Structure formats: C-alpha cells, structure tokens
Amino acid sequence: MAMGDIAFNLLIFFVILARANDDSHLQWTPSRVENLQTAGHSVISVLIDKDSKLYLNGQQVGISELSNLIEQSLPPNATEEERTVLLKVHQETLAQRFEPVIEAISEAGGKLVHIVEEENN
C-alpha cells in the first residue's frame, strides 16, 4: 500500500511540473525574419505577450525579479548550451519593454535566443 502512495505522489508531482513549463495558453505573434537558425533545447523560456505581460516558463513575473529567477533556474556549472534562454516577444512589443528583459537575461548569465518566424516570400 505504501508503494502505491509513493507512486501516486510522484505522478502528481510530475503532472504539476509538466504544467508549470507550459506556455501554450499565452497569446503572442512572433516577429518575422529571413534565414533562420534552429534554437536547440532550452529549459528556460521568457515570453512577452500581446498585452506586454512578462512570463517565465509560463508563470507571470515582474521585470525586477526576472534576472534572479533565471539565475536560479540555470543548472550549476552549466555549459553554454545549457544556459540557453528562449525569448519570445510579440511582434508589436516596443523596444522599451523588451530591452530590459534582454538585459535581465544577460545579467543572469543566460545565452539569449530570440524566437521568430521565418518570412515566406
């Protein structure tokens, strides 16, 4: 009976963990650019939605806490590839909104990868 309880608790833990990184419900339209490169894998995602709200891994955060939260999320002694932070910015977001986000990612030691959509001519 105790093994069943442990298995159930682990299942609940992983379900909650999986939902914490889901940002599919957030609405944003990526910028468009030619000649894209693939971003690879990342455990950290920062998003600015169409209402200029800021999210870290699907959870709304403030700009003042962003750098510390990213730094805490990065693995200790991480390689450059493991320090990748995906930045998703709605195409109509002004520079005054996303520039402090870029600065916070840099301060935290993250390797910034801006997510955009390829332009089809």
Domain boundaries, the chain: 2-118
Query: Model-level pTM?
Result: 0.65
- Cα 63 from Cα 53, distance rounded (Å): 10
The pLDDT tens digits along the chain (121 residues) read 577 777 777 777 666 655 555 566 666 666 555 654 555 567 788 999 889 999 998 899 999 999 999 999 888 888 877 888 888 888 888 889 989 999 999 999 988 877 765 555 5
Nearest to 67, CA basis, from 10, 106, 117, 116: 106
